[in-house]
Amino acid sequence: MIRPFIRFTGAVALVALSMSLTQAFAQTEVPPAPAAPAPAAAPVFPKPDPANFTAASPTKETVSAFLTANWGFEESRIWQVQAILKTPVEGISKVVVLVGDKTGKEKPAVLQFYALPDGKHIITADQIVAFGANPFADFRTQLQQQATGPYRGAAPKDLEIVEFADFQCPHCKEAQANIDKLAVDFPKARIVFENDPLSAIHPESVPAASYGVCVASLGGSTAFFQYASAVFDGQDGLATADGATLTLNSAVTKAGLDPAKVAACAATPATKETVDASVKLAADLGVSQVPMLFINGRLVPANVPYETLKKIVEYQAKMDGLTL
């Protein structure tokens, strides 16, 4: 579910860089499509001209490492750094990369972005994206420190998957099947739930989040996930304020807690502060729509096909030196 406003920050663009070629290059220059059907072999890129490497930074090795971090889970993806050029602005370099597919099923494309002087960010299309050989490290650290919501799975944060969701969002409900599969397939993962209610379009998502905070506080993570499952199952009941009260109270009861105590807790300033802190964390990380996952700091839509999601988790764990 997309917000009524969009925060154009780096984490959003990482999603595009992590997904398919079609998504990643929706706003970049693509060579004209050939009249004949796409070839069944990998494209042959033209040899880079040394004259097109006029900037000292970033290096070809850094660019390739960055793309490996983003695209390495796609075995068929190939690329070639074609140019790293000075621009009229001191310290800003233009990078050109040719991208293709080993199978020849996708048309070759051109990725262009601008590397910023700090060496840690690039601008691609209208997004500012974290850059470098390990571009997800800062988000990973931030989440390890600030994602304090209820969790299931392992206690250690070596492999941490953080979900940002809205209880009234239909797409978030659909994504729970993926989350449940991740919990089974990756028992060493710590899977954290963080509230990100889109109150402008889902007015009952805030009470649902507040109740969830109190269920976790009073009953622990196990009670919370029982509550969350019941709320998503009864999501249609959140369409009205009266229906939401019945739905949330029923979910609290299924979690084994007293609805009156949870309702009283949900009305406190401390609970509002907890929900607001989760929403702020999402904003600081550039989350512009839900449901979203951070896999050791790597932003991925929670409802991508499960096999793709599983492959990304496996790849990110490997990149971080983890044994699953």
- 11 near 126, Cβ under 8 Å? no
Specify whether the backbone of 154 is left (phi greater than 0), alpha (psi in -120 to 50) or beta. Answer: beta
The whole-model pTM stands at: 0.86
Q: Where are the domains of the chain?
A: 10-133, 138-319
Using CA atoms, how far apart are residues 258 and 250, in angstroms rounded to an integer? 10
Output the pLDDT for position 144.
Answer: 98
Using CA atoms, how far apart are residues 109 and 103, in angstroms rounded to an integer? 14
- 118 near 252, Cβ under 8 Å? no
Output the pLDDT for position 31.
Answer: 42
Q: State the DSSP H helix or E strand holding residue 51, giving kind and residue range, or none if neither.
A: none
**Phi, psi torsion values for 93, nearest 5 degrees:** -115, 145
Pick the CATH number of 138-319 from 3.40.50.720, 3.40.30.10, 3.40.605.10, 3.30.70.100: 3.40.30.10
Tokens linked to 17: 């860089």
Torsion angle, CA of 22/26/28/29, rounded to 10 degrees?
Answer: 70
> What angle (nearest 5°) sits at the alpha carbon of residue 274, between those of residues 270 and 277?
130
Per-residue burial over 280-306, b if 16 or more Cβ lie within 10 Å, else e, is: ebbeebbbbbbbbbbbbbbbbbbbbee
Q: State the DSSP H helix or E strand holding residue 49, giving kind and residue range, or none if neither.
A: none
* Selection from 152, 159, 170, 147 nearest residue 282 by Cα: 147
* Selection from 79, 185, 64, 206 nearest residue 135 by Cα: 64
Residues of the chain short of pLDDT 70, as ranges, are 1-40
Output the pLDDT for position 126.
Answer: 83
pLDDT digits (tens, 9 = 90+) for 272-313: 999 999 999 999 999 989 999 999 999 999 999 999 999 999
- HSE-up of 2 (CA within 13 Å, CB side)? 6
CB neighbour list of residue 170: distance below 8 Å, 6 or more residues apart: 1, 235
pLDDT digits (tens, 9 = 90+) for 239-256: 999 999 999 999 999 999
Using CA atoms, how far apart are residues 301 and 299, in angstroms rounded to an integer? 7
Using CA atoms, how far apart are residues 54 and 83, in angstroms rounded to an integer? 8
Tokens linked to 218: 């009073």
* Selection from 254, 135, 144 nearest residue 192 by Cα: 144
